[in-house]
């Protein structure tokens, strides 16, 4: 059995306001702008992923800090009871 790959010869270059634009729909200037927008979109996705990781780490640190306060309170109470 032979494997055949289908290549989309006219792929969507950009989608804006739910409208797909293909190479044939764009002039040279628009193609340049679309390429720049694709790069920006990739960068923004990476920033969003990094933000989510940092926010998750921040929340873990907050929980760690809050838990450390609880441990200190328990230790302080135990010390008071021993007196």
Contact (CB, 8 A) for 57 and 70: no
Residue 2 lies in a domain: no
Total domains, the chain = 1
Q: Is residue 6 part of a domain?
A: no
Helix (H, G, I), strand (E, B) or coil at 13: strand
Q: Decide if 68 is inside a domain.
A: yes
pLDDT attached to residue 43: 98
> What range does the domain containing 22 cover?
12-82
């800090």: which residue's tokens? Answer: 65
Q: In this structure, is residue 1 part of a structural domain?
A: no
- Reported as a pLDDT band with limits 50, 70 and 90, residue 25 is very high
CA distance 49 to 43: 10
* 7 belongs to a structural domain: no
- Confidence band for 83, pLDDT divided at 50, 70 and 90: low
- The bridge status of strand 19-22 relative to strand 12-16 is antiparallel
Give the separation between CA 1 and CA 73, rounded to whole angstroms. Answer: 71
């Amino acid at each position: 059995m032979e494997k055949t790959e289908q290549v989309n010869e006219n792929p969507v270059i950009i989608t804006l306001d739910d409208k797909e634009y293909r190479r044939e729909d764009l002039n040279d200037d628009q193609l340049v702008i679309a390429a720049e927008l694709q790069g920006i979109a990739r960068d923004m996705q990476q920033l969003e992923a990094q933000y989510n990781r940092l926010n998750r780490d921040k929340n873990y640190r907050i929980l760690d800090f809050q838990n450390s306060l609880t441990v200190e309170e328990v230790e302080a109470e135990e010390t008071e009871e021993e007196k």
